[in-house]
């Protein structure tokens, strides 16, 4: 039979081990490192505003290229605004480009990163 003092000693050691593991888990799970702080601060939304003349020749299936941005404008709206000077304002998202490697199959898409304005506010500017 096991001595009662030995059982008591084992119970105390187990409590200390559990308490220590709980404290370590708590400290690790709620700590922040430089990497997590850097990632959180870089999530700023960029808003772009610019004036450009709309030209249907710059239209793609994704939108119209204006001042280095792909602006999401519907075909009917683009036809009405064709040749007019407009002010575009909207949130910018960056779509990463594809990296086609020499021995891999070629992927369809843009090679370079592109800036998109998804839901732009468009105003006609008087000359």
Q: Are residues 22 and 63 in the same domain?
A: no
Q: Which domain holds residue 13?
A: 4-40
47 in Cβ contact with 93 (< 8 Å) = no
Q: Is 0.75 topped by the overall pTM?
A: no
Q: Are residues 34 and 91 in the same domain?
A: no
72 in Cβ contact with 108 (< 8 Å) = no
Q: Are residues 28 and 63 in the same domain?
A: no
Residue 106 confidence (pLDDT): 64
DSSP letter for each residue of 64-96: EEETTEEE---HHHHHHHTT-EEEEEEEEEEEP
Q: Are residues 36 and 20 in the same domain?
A: yes
pLDDT digits (tens, 9 = 90+) for 47-88: 889 999 999 998 888 889 999 899 999 889 999 999 999 999
Q: Are residues 65 and 106 in the same domain?
A: yes
d(CA 29, CA 21): 12
Average pLDDT over residues 6-27: 85
């Amino acid at each position: 039979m096991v001595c009662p003092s030995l059982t008591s000693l084992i119970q105390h050691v187990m409590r200390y081990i559990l308490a220590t593991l709980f404290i370590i888990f708590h400290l690790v799970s709620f700590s922040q490192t430089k990497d997590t702080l850097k990632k959180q601060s870089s999530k700023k939304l960029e808003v772009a505003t610019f004036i450009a003349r709309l030209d249907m020749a710059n239209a793609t299936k994704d939108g119209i290229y204006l001042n280095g941005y792909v602006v999401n404008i519907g075909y009917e709206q683009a036809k009405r605004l064709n040749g007019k000077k407009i002010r575009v304002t909207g949130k910018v998202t960056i779509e990463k480009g594809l990296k086609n490697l020499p021995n891999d199959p070629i992927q369809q898409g843009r090679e370079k990163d592109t800036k998109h304005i998804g839901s732009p506010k468009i105003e006609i500017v008087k000359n």
